[in-house]
Amino acid sequence: MGHSIERVRVKRTSLMVLGGLAAGYWMRTHPSACPYSLRFVLRFPRRALARERLLEILAPEPGERVLELGPGTGYYTLGVAAALDGGTLDIFDISQEFLDDLVRKARDQGIDNITPTQGDARALPYGDDTFDAAYLVAVLGEIPDEDAALRELARVLRPGGRLVVGESLASGDPHAVLFGKLRSRGEHAGFTLEDRQGGPLAYFARFRIP
């Protein structure tokens, strides 16, 4: 009996390792969003980019309308939505499967202030000055044209609106964006850097539209 259990554990571990290698290869060779079939990669703990740190630097307020770009499996989504009493969290992703899965999770937890939209981050389907805040974590480097995405975020944010970007090189993400590069591109898109939390390998940066 003990040997059988051990064989199952070894097999399970081997499958996880192989899956991780396959996911890593895919991410290195495809500068685009993680597909739904590899969603387990997004479930790994993000200690350096914890939910609490995002909430602290984003500081969502009741009644606000906030945009999350690339929510994936929803690691940050439900916590932000819960903080928006009387407000709305728009979740935008290129994958309809991720959105459908996340809406089901929210419904199961009694959260009903989430609005999903599928599309391309380089052409956001929202009007000018729509959102009070926006955030994206480990997403920017997956967008083929980062500058276009930042310009679109600047367009849909209201004057004084804030943008939080989280990136982590510590996780080995090949698409992670270095802070210096992000700051330069953000300022070029019309943002002003307001705050940064974290170190050189993992950080949250908050920008604001003047």
- Let me know if residue 167 belongs to a domain: yes
**Lowest-confidence range among 42-46, 146-150, 176-180, 181-185?**
42-46
Residues 83 and 24 placed together within one structural domain of the fold: no
Contacts of 62 (CB under 8 A, 6+ apart): 83, 84, 85, 86, 87
Residues 16 and 94 placed together within one structural domain of the fold: no
- Categorize the per-residue pLDDT at 200 as very low, low, confident or very high, splitting at 50, 70 and 90: confident
Strand 65-69's sheet: what is its strand order? 114-118, 88-93, 65-69, 131-137, 157-168, 202-208, 192-198
Please give the structure tokens belonging to residue 171.
């996780």
- Let me know if residue 173 belongs to a domain: yes
Contacts of 68 (CB under 8 A, 6+ apart): 76, 77, 80, 89, 90, 91, 92, 134, 135, 136
CB-count burial class (<10 Å; 0-12, 13-18, 19+) for 134? buried
Look at the pTM and tell me if it is higher than 0.85. Answer: no
Alpha helices in 84-178 (DSSP H): 96-108, 146-156
The more confidently predicted of residues 49 and 26 is 49
- Categorize the per-residue pLDDT at 18 as very low, low, confident or very high, splitting at 50, 70 and 90: very low
State yes or no: pLDDT of 1 exceeds 80. Answer: no
Residues 165 and 145 placed together within one structural domain of the fold: yes
80-100: average pLDDT: 96
- Let me know if residue 35 belongs to a domain: no
State yes or no: pLDDT of 19 exceeds 60. Answer: no
Cα 33 from Cα 132, distance rounded (Å): 25
Contacts of 111 (CB under 8 A, 6+ apart): 78, 81, 82
Predicted confidence at residue 75, as pLDDT, reads: 93
Tens digits of per-residue pLDDT, 104-140? 999 999 999 999 999 999 999 999 999 999 999 999 9
The more confidently predicted of residues 64 and 3 is 64
Contact 87, 65 (CB under 8 A): yes
Residues 145 and 92 placed together within one structural domain of the fold: yes
- Let me know if residue 20 belongs to a domain: yes
Residues 99 and 188 placed together within one structural domain of the fold: yes
Residues 102 and 196 placed together within one structural domain of the fold: yes
CATH of residue 149: 3.40.50.150
- Choose among 205, 206, 154: nearest CA to 179: 205
Structural domain of 171: 42-208
Predicted confidence at residue 185, as pLDDT, reads: 98
Contact 131, 157 (CB under 8 A): yes
Residues 69 and 165 placed together within one structural domain of the fold: yes
Predicted confidence at residue 173, as pLDDT, reads: 78
**Lowest-confidence range among 34-38, 98-102, 107-111, 133-137?**
34-38
- How many percent of the chain have pLDDT more than 90? 72
Nearest 5 degrees, angle CA 161-CA 164-CA 168?
Answer: 170
Residues 67 and 132 placed together within one structural domain of the fold: yes
The more confidently predicted of residues 200 and 162 is 162
Q: Tell me the C-alpha to C-alpha distance, in Å, between residue 67 and each of 59, 84, 85, 117, 143.
A: 13, 12, 15, 10, 16
Q: CA neighbours within 13 Å on the CB side: how many for 36?
A: 10
Predicted confidence at residue 206, as pLDDT, reads: 99
Please give the structure tokens belonging to residue 82.
């819960």
Q: Tell me the C-alpha to C-alpha distance, in Å, between residue 114 and each of 2, 14, 80, 123.
A: 47, 38, 10, 20
- Let me know if residue 91 belongs to a domain: yes
Please give the structure tokens belonging to residue 4.
């059988």
- Let me know if residue 70 belongs to a domain: yes
What average pLDDT does the structure give for the chain? Answer: 85
Tens digits of per-residue pLDDT, 154-194? 999 999 999 999 999 877 778 899 999 999 999 999 999 99
Residues 49 and 83 placed together within one structural domain of the fold: yes
The number of distinct structural domains making up the chain is 2
